[in-house]
């Protein structure tokens, strides 16, 4: 059955459909209600919920993966990349996806279409979640796949001041579990934000390899880049210790095609930061954002540098033409 066709809602049942169009229309008539997706039906975001007993492997076992993608003028940015990483993440923890990739793509496009009809100029952040799929409270796979949830919300980006002045980051010795998998587990970042981030009055945190206390890995929700005195850009490699960030992938692609930029994917050590003139981070909600301090050490002259500004402009041009 087509998961986008109307169906009758029976609580607790696994359905294949959406809320009746009448109900969606009523939700839109209330103003700026945003539409999300719960298992097999469209729901207002404010009513989205992840059931407990019907998804114990997600709620108690933490058996969940996700991807966070944004829209650009009503089009989901790098959708194929996000879907591929989501399905790769599911495979990485032996999770059975809830549906074929093509079906999920259709659902996502339908959600964007409905929300664009209600607010044509509003950009969205879409968290696409695969949750559970085990037998009750056991650790065994169930016959069906994981449950699907899509949480749609307004895209919130940093204030203009962050781009004008840059931001400060703090370091925290931590490596995510299954780093190449986008798990719904941010306990390391949460602990760092309670302890390290306030200590340095920082914007966010960079993880450093706990084994050597020196190798820079990735940010809590972003990839990091550094620029040396000769203008060469360095970023940690995809060596199994960091996530294959979609925004990182875009930065690498667009810079590799422009001769004015030199980019190296190579391990970066904390002790090297003193020699770097610039640094920046990249993520779905931030694009390219300058980093001007790491812990107590000011990077360069403490303001966004020329290479960072150039990368930012190139990335913005790419977004405008997407």
Q: How many CA atoms lie within 13 A of 187 on its CB side?
A: 4
Q: Domain 21-154 maps to which CATH number in 3.20.20.10, 3.40.50.720, 3.30.470.10, 3.40.190.10? A: 3.30.470.10
| Range from 2-6, 145-149, 203-207 carrying the lowest mean pLDDT | 2-6
Residue 137 to residue 178: CA distance in whole angstroms: 22
pLDDT of residue 31: 56
> For helices 306-320 and 246-256, what crossing angle results, to 10°?
100
Name which of 62, 65, 75, 11 is nearest 38 in CA terms: 11
Q: What is the pLDDT of residue 18?
A: 40
Burial 80-97 (b: 16+ CB within 10 A, else e): ebbbebbbebbeeeebeb
Predicted confidence at residue 17, as pLDDT, reads: 40
Residue pair 308/280 in contact (Cβ under 8 Å)? The answer is yes
Enumerate the domain spans of the chain. Answer: 21-154, 160-320
The pair phi, psi for residue 158, each rounded to 5°, is -60, 155
- Radius of gyration in angstroms for the set of CA atoms belonging to the chain, rounded to a whole number: 21
Confidence of residue 141 (pLDDT cuts 50, 70, 90): confident
d(CA 311, CA 212): 31
Residue 87 banded pLDDT, cuts 50, 70, 90: very high
Global confidence as pTM? 0.90
The secondary structure of 181-221 as a DSSP string is S-BS--HHHHHHHHHHHHHTT-SEEEEE-TTTS-EEEEESS
**What's the confidence (pLDDT) of residue 184?**
96
What is the mean predicted confidence (pLDDT) over 294-314?
98
Residue 165's nearest CA partner among 301, 282, 56, 44 is 301
Cα end-to-end distance, the chain, whole Å: 33
Q: Are strands 232-235 and 262-265 parallel, antiparallel or unpaired?
A: parallel
**How do residues 175-197 score in pLDDT, each as one tens digit?**
999 999 999 999 999 999 999 99
The reported pLDDT for the residue numbered 8 is 32
Say if residue 276's pLDDT is above 50.
Answer: yes
Q: Which helix (H) or strand (E) holds 96?
A: none
pLDDT of the residue at 143 = 83
Q: What percent of the chain has pLDDT over 70?
A: 90
Name the CATH code of domain 160-320 (choices 3.30.360.10, 3.40.50.300, 3.20.10.10, 3.40.720.10): 3.20.10.10
For every residue of 272-302, DSSP letters joined together read GGGG-SEEEEEETTTEEEEEEEETTEEPTTS
Classify residue 261 by its DSSP letter.
-
């Amino acid at each position: 059955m087509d998961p986008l066709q109307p169906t009758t809602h029976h609580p607790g049942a696994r359905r294949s459909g959406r809320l009746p169009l009448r109900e969606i229309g009523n939700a839109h008539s209330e103003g700026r209600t945003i539409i999300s997706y719960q298992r097999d039906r469209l729901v207002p975001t404010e009513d989205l919920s992840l059931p407990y007993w019907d998804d114990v492997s997600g709620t108690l076992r933490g058996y969940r993966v996700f991807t966070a993608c944004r829209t650009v003028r009503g089009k989901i940015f790098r959708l194929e990349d996000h879907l591929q990483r989501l399905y790769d993440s599911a495979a990485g923890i032996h999770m059975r996806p809830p549906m074929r990739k093509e079906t999920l793509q259709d659902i996502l496009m339908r959600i964007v279409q409905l929300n664009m009809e209600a607010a044509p100029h509003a950009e969205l952040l879409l968290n696409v979640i695969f949750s559970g799929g085990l037998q009750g409270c056991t650790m065994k796979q169930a016959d069906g796949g994981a449950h699907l949830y899509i949480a749609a919300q307004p895209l919130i980006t940093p204030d203009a001041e962050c781009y004008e002045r840059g931001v400060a980051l703090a370091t925290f010795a931590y490596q995510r579990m299954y780093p190449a998998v986008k798990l719904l587990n941010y306990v390391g970042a949460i602990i760092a934000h309670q302890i390290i981030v306030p200590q340095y009055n920082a914007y966010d945190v960079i993880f450093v390899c706990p084994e050597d206390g020196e190798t820079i890995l990735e940010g809590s929700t972003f990839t990091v880049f550094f620029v040396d005195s000769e203008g060469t850009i360095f970023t940690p490699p995809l060596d199994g210790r960091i996530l294959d960030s979609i925004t990182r992938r875009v930065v690498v692609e667009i810079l590799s095609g422009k001769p004015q930029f030199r980019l190296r994917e190579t391990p970066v050590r904390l002790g090297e930061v003193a020699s770097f003139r610039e640094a920046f981070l990249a993520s779905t909600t931030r694009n390219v954002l300058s980093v001007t301090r790491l812990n107590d050490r000011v990077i360069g002259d403490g303001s966004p540098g020329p290479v960072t500004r150039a990368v930012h402009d190139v990335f913005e041009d790419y977004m405008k033409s997407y």
